[in-house]
Structures are given as structure tokens and as C-alpha cells.
């Protein structure tokens, strides 16, 4: 008999080439699979809910794996502890649960939330240097909020995505939330949707910041979406400010 487990994984992506196992460089997936192989003779494969780019972080990456029931000889409570004992400090399994037989971390996901962090002050906060984009020039929060609101809805997001190197069936996605919040010097862009294209969240965040810098009026977002051309939209924000916050099922 086969048993299936659902893991929630957090990681600092600074030293990784994204989530997925890579031909060159190291993906977080292979690090966790290495820990699983230390615990289970069948060396189970890990299936993640999403990809993250090189340098992007996660607090709520969801993944699943299967093993023969005979191999599971510990309590469920001890599984995260046992895995974390074999993982580096920048990767942690925060929870583990039994999953139903047909559960799939990727295909059962109905939505994801990403958060993009910006430090808006002339001097960078050194504590946040690996997890926030330093924008030293004062940003106009109201302009950023106005731009963000225009992303909500079902749109073709081709103008905000990078070329993934293969043809996508569709570049239409539904964004259910795009908020901009400020706390002290830190600005957070919260983006939720049913799925995201390659570097789409970073394209949105970079464009929202440029609206806040007065590079273009916020309502220019409508024109950018309609053009379906990456060259007409704003910049791609740096990877290190982005966090996969949670996956919804």
C-alpha cells in the first residue's frame, strides 16, 4: 500500500536556482529529495505546487510525495523534524500531513499568493538586503495603489511575463487581488491569482514601482495589458524581493 504526504516548505532562495531540480546549479526540490532519500529507501520524488525563479523565496511552497506504507515508521509529528535534520538552514519543512490518494500539489491548487517587498528609504536596511528591493527614491503610494488595482481581473498578461523558452497554451490569467501596503519604510505588493506566467509577478511589481516613481500614469496599465507586448510594460523587479506566500486549495 502507498501513502501520500503533503509538505509545506519555506526557503531562502538566495543560493538556489529556483525550486525545480536543475541540470546546472541547485534547486530546492533536489535538496528536499536528498533529505527524503535519507529517511526512506524508495527515495521518493517530490512534486511541487509551483516553480520559483532563481533567487525567489518561499514561505508556503506545497509539495507531495509517496512511499510504501511499510517505510513510514515514525509519527507524523516527527516527519518535519526528521527532514529538517537533513536540510540546510535556509530550507525548512514547516508542516507535514497525510494527503488523500488523488491529491496533487500542483494540479489541485486553485490559487497562489505572492508578496513583493520594497524598502523605500535612501539607506537600505541591511537586515532586509536579501529579501527586499531597495528603492532609494520616494515612491508615491497612491499612484502605486491606483496602478495595482488595474491588474485585478481576467486579462492577457503577456506584456508582464518573460519568455519561458517554450510556447504557452494561454497567457490569460485571473488576478483576484493586487494590493499595495506600507508599514514604515517597507512597502508590500500582495498579488493573488489562479496562476502566474514566468516572471509575471516581478513584471507587475516592477511596473507598479515605476508608476510610483512617476515614470508613467497609473492608467497606462490598461494600454500595457492590451498591447500584449513585453516591451511596452515596466521593468522586471529583482528576484530577491519576491516570496511565494501561500498556495490555496
Tell me the per-residue pLDDT of 51-60, one tens digit each, with 9 for 90 and over: 999 999 999 9
Query: Is 68 a residue whose pLDDT tops 90?
Result: yes
* Dihedral (CA of 176, 111, 157, 28) sign: positive
Summary mean pLDDT of the chain: 96
pTM of the shown model = 0.94
HEC-encoded secondary structure of 206-240: HHHHHHHCCCCCCCHHHHHHHHCCHHHCCCCCCHH
User: Over 80: is that where the pLDDT of 199 sits?
Assistant: yes
With a cut of 80, say whether residue 164 has pLDDT above it: no
Q: What is the C-alpha to C-alpha distance for residues 182 and 202, in angstroms, rounded to an integer?
A: 18
For residue 128, the model assigns a pLDDT of 97
Domain definitions of the chain by residue range: 2-99, 111-248
pLDDT of residue 167: 73
219 assigned to active site: no
Over residues 194-205, mean pLDDT: 96
The three cell numbers of residue 114 are: 505572492
CATH no. for 2-99: 3.30.70.580
Whether pLDDT at 75 is above 90: yes
Determine which one of 53, 140, 156, 179 is catalytic.
53
Q: Are 138 and 120 in contact (CB under 8 A)?
A: yes
What is the reported pLDDT for 24? 79
For residue range 210-248, list pLDDT tens digits in order: 999 999 999 999 999 999 999 999 999 999 999 999 999
Q: What is the CATH number of domain 111-248?
A: 3.30.70.660
Torsions phi, psi of 68, nearest 5?
-65, 140
Contact present, 244 and 48 (Cβ < 8 Å): no
Indicate whether 127 pLDDT > 90.
yes
pLDDT confidence of residue 89? 97
Q: Establish whether domains 2-99 and 111-248 are of one fold.
A: yes
Amino acid at each position: 500500500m502507498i501513502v501520500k504526504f503533503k509538505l509545506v516548505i519555506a526557503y531562502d532562495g538566495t543560493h538556489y536556482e529556483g525550486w525545480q531540480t536543475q541540470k546546472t546549479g541547485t534547486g530546492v526540490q533536489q535538496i528536499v529529495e536528498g533529505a527524503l532519500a535519507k529517511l526512506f529507501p524508495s527515495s521518493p520524488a517530490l512534486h511541487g505546487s509551483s516553480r520559483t525563479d532563481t533567487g525567489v523565496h518561499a514561505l508556503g511552497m506545497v509539495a507531495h510525495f509517496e512511499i510504501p506504507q511499510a517505510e513510514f515508521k515514525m509519527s507524523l509529528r516527527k516527519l518535519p523534524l526528521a527532514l529538517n535534520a537533513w536540510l540546510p538552514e535556509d530550507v525548512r519543512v514547516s508542516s507535514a500531513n497525510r494527503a488523500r490518494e488523488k491529491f496533487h500539489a500542483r494540479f489541485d491548487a486553485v490559487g497562489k499568493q505572492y508578496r513583493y517587498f520594497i524598502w523605500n528609504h535612501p539607506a537600505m536596511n541591511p537586515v532586509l538586503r536579501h529579501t527586499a528591493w531597495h528603492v532609494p527614491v520616494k515612491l508615491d503610494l497612491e499612484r502605486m495603489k491606483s496602478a495595482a488595482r488595474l491588474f485585478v481581473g481576467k486579462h492577457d498578461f503577456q506584456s508582464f511575463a518573460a519568455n519561458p523558452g517554450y510556447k504557452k497554451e494561454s497567457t490569460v490569467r485571473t488576478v483576484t487581488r493586487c494590493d499595495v501596503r506600507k508599514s514604515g519604510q517597507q512597502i508590500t505588493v500582495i498579488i493573488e491569482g489562479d496562476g502566474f506566467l514566468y516572471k509575471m509577478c516581478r513584471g507587475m511589481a516592477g511596473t507598479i514601482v515605476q508608476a510610483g516613481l512617476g515614470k508613467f500614469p497609473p492608467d497606462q496599465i490598461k494600454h500595457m495589458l492590451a498591447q500584449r507586448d513585453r516591451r511596452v510594460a515596466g521593468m522586471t523587479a529583482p528576484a530577491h524581493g519576491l516570496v511565494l506566500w501561500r498556495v490555496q486549495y
